[in-house]
Structure 1
Amino acid sequence: MKLIIGNKNYSSWSLRGWLAAKQSGLHFEEIVVPLFGENWEADKQSGQIRPSSGKVPLLWDGDAVVWDSLAILDYLADKVGRDRFWPKDEAARGMARSMVAEMHSSFQALRGECPMNVRKRFDGFEPSEACTADILRILGLWAEARSRFGSGGPFLFGTFGAADVFFAPVVSRFISYQIPVPGFAVAYMQALWEHEWMQAWIAASEDEEWVIEQYETVG
């Protein structure tokens, strides 16, 4: 399998696809395509990422091609078994699926005001009312997941799974923009940030030479 991703420092959707591939336990080749680089327009029309109209991540598995991070996670879950990604308990699984779907489709204010930048720490960020509402909604979801289903470990549903894959870029954003969070969220964020896969992603992002100026300032 080949997983095509964007810059690790900036591409939140690529992080989700990459973590899903790591969680599957399957071997895959990683190919990084610099976003908005000198060859970006040509890259978008290349054979490898053309099926997604130039969007990353993109997974090739033989003749099969899958794009969109949620589709990639579902495809991999079908290959290795859904219990690797989702809680076994029915109520927990229902909530985890709902949280992943909401993360996939919502929180536009947070996305717009806080682009992912793993390397950066921004001082003085003040979220808008809409962004604050997104932050509070996410913290509420985290609190419910941890209190109801998190007894088996430090992650949202105890053990690392699909919900953590999808909220990993949010953890990065909260850290980069220094969003104040309650103690339970600090503990969760620390556990996710210190996960070996996240540490590998962070180290790789720090080694990247590409800089996208529009994501280097607040506002």
Structure 2
Amino acid sequence: MLRTIRLSLVAAAATALVACGGGAKIGGGKEGAAKAAFQAGQPAGKGANTSGQDLLRQMAAGAATGSAEFSADCAKGGSVKLKLDLTSTGSQDGSVKYKADYNNCNQDGINSYDGSMEIEFKIAGTATSLEMSLRLKGKVDISGTISDSIDADVTETFAATATSATAGMVTIKVDGSIKTSSASYTYANETLNITVDGGLPVDNSGKT
């Protein structure tokens, strides 16, 4: 009898999970999708000791010695395997391209990323500031409080200091497209303000 009750409870829980889709979708419209892409573009681990700028220097140094693959820990667990495109290291515009393979990469302590993206990484300096540009192309699945995915072909530009920001807001310029499992967004050099700390915004509208 006790076993029957336990099995019934398990079945009920499984049914409820299926009915809810296993988790919420990304909310927040364009800003929410852009924040998900921003997190995916921080393979060095936002909030960790290594910033995106430091990683770029490591990769450039590795290319000079013939070492084209790196593994970076994510801020809250998991890792990203980075494979440098050696043909890009001599680019005149200072850009570097690499493939990023996400393995349960957790940046915010709430959601994890799995999948692959091609990322073009460029730093441009002016007399008063240093800007970073990331072009992300590929698809990653997100699990945690969010059960969703982003399929991106987008360029995000922001202050280089944003790569190591762990709180507050950052301003990013977004150009391109991002698709989630339920929506598609197109950006035309749009300037957005996103909150760095906390998880991704949640859309519960489809849950029962």
TM range (shorter): under 0.3
Higher helix share: 1
Report 1 or 2 for greater relative contact order, CA contacts < 8 Å, sequence distance ≥ 6.
Answer: 1
Alignment TM-score, normalising by the size of structure 2: 0.27
